[in-house]
Structure 1
Amino acid sequence: MAKHRSRPTRQKYRKIAKGLGALEMKVAVQNARITGLEEQMAQLRRGKKRKAVPNPNRRFMALAESLATGEALPDSKEAEIEVDVDEEVESVIE
């Protein structure tokens, strides 16, 4: 019988193969764990800050809501002017 096919050689090869199989399994488990942790880190990582873009239709949406409820809409500029004038008149009177 050839030396590479002898019983002790086959036993050594079997032990080596068994050890390699266990190591391959351990590596596969560790790779799966690393992949899961990387995904978790990606979810926890803060994204790039972006400048908030104001919605130009917000003013019109508020207008539509108030018209739907039937509320009167005061002009915001006129209301501010009236308040400013009232404060000036009160300070002059005092």
Structure 2
Amino acid sequence: MKFIVIKIGGSTLSDMHPSIINNIKHLRSNNIYPIIVHGGGPFINEALSNQQIDPHFVNGLRVTDKATMTITKHTLIADVNTALVAQFNQHQCSAIGLCGLDA
């Protein structure tokens, strides 16, 4: 059994092309099991904006205070991860969503 880790950035998730899912299906048909790690920057920024919190960046990296972390966790787990899994499953590419808190 072979595994491969694939990082899909948040900006890609905003408009994910079906070819990405097809490529992952192709890997699986060749007994290569992808582990998808996703970002969610645009979604986090939108969620913060909805809560009237301005994101803070230093040298291009988000500085995450307690309030930002709470919103970030919810956004990544409840929104982004769930939507990504649904996209894969809608294209007959069986997927489950996990996060580090599941460990």
| Higher RCO, 1 vs 2 (CA within 8 Å, ≥6 residues apart) | 2
State the structure with more CA Rg. Answer: 1
Taking structure 1 as the reference length, what is the TM-score of the superposition? 0.30
Structure holding more helix per residue: 1
Structure number with higher strand proportion: 2
Taking structure 2 as the reference length, what is the TM-score of the superposition?
A: 0.27
